[in-house]
Amino acid sequence: MPILKRQLHLGLFLFSTGYHPAGWRLPEAVADGAFDPKFLHRIARRLEEAKFDFFFLGDALATSPDMQHQFPSQMVRLEPFTMIANIAAVTERIGLIVTANTTYSEPYTVARQTASLDYLSGGRLAWNVVTGMDIRAAQNYSREKHWDNSRRYDYAEEFVKIVQELWDSWEDEAFVRDKESGVFVDGSKVHVINHHGEHFSVAGPLNVARPPQGQIPLLNAGTSERSRELGAKLSTAVFTGQILIELAKSFYADIKTKAEAFGRKQNEVSILPGLVPLVGRTAEEAHAKYRELSSLLVTDYDLSALSARIGIDLKGYELDGPLPDLSLSTLPGKESEWLVELAQRAEGRKEITIRELFHYFAATARGHLLIVGDAKQVADRMEEWFTGGAADGFNICPPYLPGGLDLFIDLVIPELQRRGLFRTEYEADTFRGHFGLSRPDNRFARSTILEGAGE
């Protein structure tokens, strides 16, 4: 069997108003796409035409109007299971990621929902496992406070274990459907799980047959030690927010090493940083669009967060004056210099002001790398991360929609394909298949076989 060349995994992280906080204000941008099924269908179909691995919708369980100038896309959005079911109906090959928060859900419910969506999508579903980070969510779910990191992940790990067992509670051969004998199900191939743990007591079996993929792929994000361990142990892909390649390499190596410690091969877990590609037909066009977006930011230019980010108190400096001497930074290493270099690249020139550094900081505050340039420049940076041990692919976050996505697909995807870095056709029909994973055996069927072998 020939050895397949390693290629990028690419998915869309949907920010319906665009990842850039001011993306929705561009004249050509769609501002109300979050609730427009035709708009969402157009996005999903474009992704499938371009052979993306997946379409991904994040989720949040709390909101407030004061998010509008920093996170307008995250303020309001459709419930993910409902939306992904709708997207499944208008697509055929692209993977679909649904987000479910373990802290505010029940394992049996999530097992039913995910198994059902795996059937409705033809085996294209994956589950983004989140534990939540917004303390306001607790107040929406009759709780006094949001749990700390340790408790959330203890709960999540038990939660995921139950869901995976429920997916396997019906063996593939359980359905006899013999019309002559009247036997519909072989009861010996249907299993209760009888889980009694610290947080849950679940009998089973699930009232949905085993999902088409057998085990639905898991994904997760986060930077805490517990989130890294969960990803290394269970996830098909780990989402991360990294804008500095040096730190991204460290994160990448850490997850891969942890995966090996859990008995997995390194290629069984993919690291997918978020990428915000601001593409132009020329570099000049891209930089002009970036400056247009910067001019549309609604901000009071509070420099406190930026001061902490670069380790220099910017109070007293002129907003339109030159940057301070970076050697004054109190931060260890060269992080402040690296951040400034990214802002300089975005502006397209070395001499930038504090205001222009703030613009880049505001555009990347959620932790994803913003690259400004023509198709070759964007592809160069993607290839650098991919071949340099910083990423196995990217979670693409267009700065505005739909034009930001269209330019990436029309200009960058062909460039990546010319370099042999991205597929030209799908080779699989399932989410597992897109990531080169086979369908696993049923744990209960496997244990039955092992028991029989020992008799």
Along the chain (455 residues), what's the average pLDDT of each consecutive run of 10 residues?
75 94 95 94 98 91 72 79 97 97 96 98 97 85 89 96 98 96 96 97 98 98 91 97 93 97 96 98 97 96 94 94 93 90 95 96 90 98 98 97 98 98 98 97 78 53
CA dist., res. 130 & res. 230, Å (int): 11
Task: Classify the phi-psi angles of 68: left when phi > 0, otherwise alpha if psi is within -120 to 50, otherwise beta.
Answer: alpha
Residue 15 CB partners (closer than 8 Å, separation 6+):
23, 73, 74, 397, 398, 401
Q: Check residue 3 and give its pLDDT.
A: 45
CA dist., res. 427 & res. 101, Å (int): 31
Residue located via tokens 């001499």: 351
Q: Where are the alpha helices (DSSP H) in 31-71?
A: 37-49
Strand 125-130 with 218-221, pairing: parallel
For residue 221, the cross-strand partners are 239
Residue 190 DSSP label:
B
Give first-to-last CA distance, the chain, whole Å. 37
- What's the CA angle centered on 265, arms 260 and 266, to 5 degrees? 80
For residue 240, the cross-strand partners are 273
What percent of the chain clears pLDDT 90, i.e. is strictly above it? Answer: 85
- For residue 440, which amino acid is it? P
The closest alpha carbon to 31, from 60, 72, 62, belongs to: 72
Name the strand (E) or helix (H) holding 99.
strand 95-101
Residue located via tokens 């079996």: 205
The closest alpha carbon to 276, from 400, 373, 398, 378, belongs to: 398
Asked whether the beta carbons of 19 and 30 are under 8 A apart, the reply is: no
Q: Check residue 141 and give its pLDDT.
A: 86
Q: Give the model confidence (pLDDT) of 99-142 as tens digits.
A: 999 999 999 999 999 999 999 999 999 999 999 878 888 888 88
CA dist., res. 412 & res. 416, Å (int): 6
Task: Please spell the DSSP secondary structure of 372-422, one letter per residue.
Answer: EE-HHHHHHHHHHHHHTTS-SEEEE--SSTTHHHHHIIIIIHHHHHHTT-S
Q: Check residue 79 and give its pLDDT.
A: 93
Q: Is the peptide bond before 205 cis (omega within 30 degrees of 0)?
A: yes
Asked whether the beta carbons of 287 and 372 are under 8 A apart, the reply is: yes
Q: Give the model confidence (pLDDT) of 272-308 as tens digits.
A: 999 999 999 999 999 999 999 999 999 999 999 999 9
Q: Is 272 helix (H, G, I), strand (E, B) or coil?
A: strand
CA dist., res. 158 & res. 198, Å (int): 8
